[in-house]
Amino acid sequence: MRNRFAILCLLLFCFSSAVMSQPPAFISPTNDAVHSTLHLRYQQYKEHSIKDRRFKQTDIIPLIERLQKDPLFLVNRVGKSVEGRNIYLVKLGRGQKKVLMWSQMHGNEPTATMALMDIFNFFRQKDDLTQWKNELLDSLTIYFIPMLNPDGVERFERRNALDIDLNRDAVRLQSPEAQILKRIHDQVQPDFAFNLHDQTTQYSAGRCSSAATLSFLAPSFNYAKDINKNRFKAMQVVSHLNKVLQTYIPRQVARYSDDYEPRAFGDNMQKWGTSAILIEAGGYAQDYEKQYNRQLHFVTLLQACETIAKMSYQTETLEDYYRIPQNEKTLFHLLLRNVVVDKEGKDYLLDIAFKSYEAEYNQFRNFYFYNQIEDLGDLSVFHGYQELDANGLRAVPGLLYPHIFDNVDDLKYLDMLSILKQGYTNVKLREVPNDNRYHQLPIRLSSISRNITNKIELHRSSNFLLQAEDGTYRYAVVNGFLFDLQEGNKGAYKMPSEGVSR
Ligand SMILES: [Zn+2]
């Protein structure tokens, strides 16, 4: 499955390289389709040293500090985190309208930080969009705080080193990081503020199977969810961005719940007189490292600047905002429908849903997926990134392969398709590698001491086969991934030879 995906990526890359080798079209400053040029040429601006989500602050400090050499940017250290890491403010532009963007106040929500690095590159480069950039920076002054919570980033966790959620500290202001954000807000008094987060990939755009790849919110400033002038402007900008994004991710934009949260920054900034906008990077099929979401963020944030500079958002209405489907938690990573499951000698018809979790290693820099059964029963109101109607198929717990192998190299000669067809889903190794190459294998690797049951129960990581009435195994479900056992898929079941991530 991954091999085919890799080929697809390669083809897409070749295609985009071919497109990029064409002479770029001149973009006039009034051209409404700037976003399509930004989307098309993204690779030209992408900061290629950041490849996946689990980078650290030490990876971005050189990228921020090199901006100091560029007269376009003003870079300041504006304070320190609990553990003494510097927090940076990057200023760009000379215009009257002021925009503030901060990212990664939750340490494990890195998509927007990656996009901010790309945006810095975009402004550093001199190209045929320079006139557009200059006009934008004549109109706007943009303040960026990339990575507000570097201590959380270090452990790839939401909270700061005091275990405080910075987005619940806007009023009490106990954490130095929240104090910095409040101080910068009060000094700058931005017209617009962008609060940049990641959300669970389980969110869909409405009650449907479309992932909420980007979700937006113009937060409330009171429990009544009143709409004043500032909030309305934020709603208009969101509506504009939604329309632009439909070009790239149709039906995959959602509206985050506007329940008032009196401790959060967005809600309070709205109260303090700034038009605040929350953006959440969600799921997109196969985009595990959120690199396409990063590209969409790059386009979205620059388009937000464009519409604020030109005030083109003013034609948007309240109806446009409320027409955006609500964020709903309806997606699982794998959903099997109508499976017959034997429990204590009796058959039951069950839907089975899996959720992917990340097991971390190498100081949180790497992970591999492990999956658990997250729900069982009538799941007809839910959807899956991967779905199968298993009508007529019975789940049979997988067996442990009788031979114990020394290490993963010894598996090279194992015919995985063949052993799956015999009902084996688990293999024991004397030496299990901490290596994310193996988490999507059709065989689950375990250490000798591990007890393997493969019971189909809630919160278990169960591996099983789906058996047809004639007794043949049609599918394998291993570590929450689905494998079709038809003979033609043999090529997908080889051992990976190279890492998929660092
Ligand atoms: Zn967050």
Length of the chain measured in residues: 502
Q: Which CATH superfamily is domain 331-493 in?
A: Urease, subunit C, domain 1 (2.30.40.10)
Report CA(169)–ligand 1 centroid distance (Å). Answer: 13
Residue 29's pLDDT is: 35
Compute the distance from residue 196 Cα to the ligand 1 centre, in Å: 7
- Between the CA of 199 and the centroid of ligand 1 the distance, in Å, is 7
For residue 198, the CA-to-ligand 1 centroid distance in Å is: 6
Cα(267) to ligand 1 centroid in Å equals 14
Assign residue 344 a region (left: φ > 0; alpha: ψ between -120 and 50; beta: otherwise): left
Kindly give the pairing relationship between strand 473-478 and strand 464-467.
Answer: antiparallel
In the reported structure, the alpha carbon of residue 57 is separated from the centroid of ligand 1 by a whole-number distance in angstroms of: 17
More confident of the two residues 2 and 207? 207
If you measure from the C-alpha of residue 322 to the centroid of ligand 1, how many angstroms do you get, rounded to a whole number? 22
Choose between 26 and 336: higher pLDDT.
336
CATH class given for the domain over 56-329? alpha beta
Residue 209 has pLDDT above 60, yes or no: yes
Are the C-beta atoms of residues 324 and 254 closer than 8 Å to each other? yes
pLDDT exceeds cutoff 60 at 17: no
Residue 79: closest CA among 222, 177, 187, 163: 177
Q: Where are the domains of the chain?
A: 56-329, 331-493
Amino acid at 338: N
Q: Give the percent of the chain with pLDDT over 70.
A: 90
pTM, entire model: 0.89
- Residues 160-180 pLDDT 10s: 999 999 999 999 999 999 999
Using the mean position of ligand 1's atoms as its centre, give its distance from the Cα of residue 87 in Å: 18
Sorted by sequence, the CB contacts under 8 Å of residue 78 that are 6+ apart come out as 87, 88, 89, 145, 180, 183, 184
CA of 9 to the centre of ligand 1 (A): 29
pLDDT in tens, 130-155: 999 999 999 999 999 999 999 999 99
Radius of gyration, alpha carbons of the chain = 25
In this prediction, residue 306 has a pLDDT band, given cuts at 50, 70 and 90, of very high
**Strands (E) located in 401-488:** 424-429, 444-447, 464-467, 473-478, 481-484
Asked if 441 and 429 count as a contact pair (C-beta separation under 8 A), the reply is no
Mean pLDDT computed over 267-283? 97
Flag whether pLDDT at 296 surpasses 70: yes
CA of 104 to the centre of ligand 1 (A): 7
Q: How far is the centre of ligand 1, averaged over its atoms, from the C-alpha of 339 (Å)?
A: 36
**Angstrom distance (rounded) from CA 19 to CA 37:** 11
Determine the distance separating the centroid of ligand 1 and the alpha carbon of 131, expressed in angstroms. Answer: 35
CA distance 384 to 313: 35
pLDDT in the model for residue 122: 98
Residue 411 banded pLDDT, cuts 50, 70, 90:
confident
Whole-number Å distance, alpha carbon 108 to ligand 1 midpoint, is 8
